[in-house]
Amino acid sequence: MSIINTVREMEGRIKEFMMRKIWKIPLYLIIALVGASIATAGVMYSLRIPSTIVILPPEGDTYEIGIYEDEACTIEVSSFDFGSVALGKNSSVHFYVKNLSGVPIEATVVDNPFIPWTYIRLNNYGTGSITHEWLGGPLEPDESREITLTLDVAVQAQSGTYNFDLLFEVYPAA
């Protein structure tokens, strides 16, 4: 028998063996186990490094307003004087707010510290309004608007002199 015949005979036996379905199940199992072992062996060590990042606002974008006495926005307001107000009455001041930012902004205002039994209204809207209608919507760069700030004093308020700050919070328009 020649070597060629021997090789052909072995090929025939291999083909016959491969046609049987019995060997396929153990072979698939072996392949799956070998693959899982290789995958498990690939992840033998992990290292976690705590990291931080500070994301800065775009350069040049600041959120700032100016509060002015006059329509031309040339005289800055240094304080508001509501004068003397009787219990159950109110007092108003008028001013102009101007956007000094390079982007449209919105703003809120609160009295700080809060004066019990008083309520601030801006252009007839309460400061608790999350849509900030008192400003009339977003304020565009260099745009100004007249604002009426009214301080209502409830009948239950304690008489006396109160000093407080009006805190204007400015942020980019949504």
Determine the Cα–Cα distance for residues 166 and 93; give it in Å rounded to an integer: 12
Q: Which residues contact 132 (CB under 8 A, 6 or more apart)?
A: 106, 107, 108, 125
- Give pLDDT tens digits along the chain (174 positions): 566 666 567 666 666 666 665 555 555 555 555 555 555 555 567 677 777 777 766 665 678 899 999 999 999 999 988 899 898 888 888 889 999 988 888 887 776 767 777 777 666 655 443 334 556 778 899 999 888 888 888 888 888 888 888 888 888 887
Q: Are 152 and 90 in contact (CB under 8 A)?
A: yes
φ, ψ of residue 151 to 5 degrees: the values are -110, 110
Q: What is residue 72's DSSP assignment? A: T
- pTM score of the predicted model: 0.58
CB distance 141 to 64 below 8 Å: no
- Asked if residues 67 and 95 have their Cβ atoms less than 8 Å apart, the reply is yes
Distance CA 8, CA 16 (A): 12
User: CB of 50 within 8 A of CB of 44?
Assistant: no
What is the distance between the alpha carbons of residues 143 and 99, in angstroms, rounded to a whole number?
6
pLDDT at 132: 46
Class of residue 139 by CB neighbours under 10 A (exposed 0-12, middle 13-18, buried 19+) = buried
Among candidate residues 157, 156, 137, 153, the one with its CA nearest the CA of residue 145: 137
Closest residue by Cα to residue 134 from 172, 99, 106, 167: 106
Q: Angle CA(45)–CA(46)–CA(49) in degrees, nearest 5?
A: 150
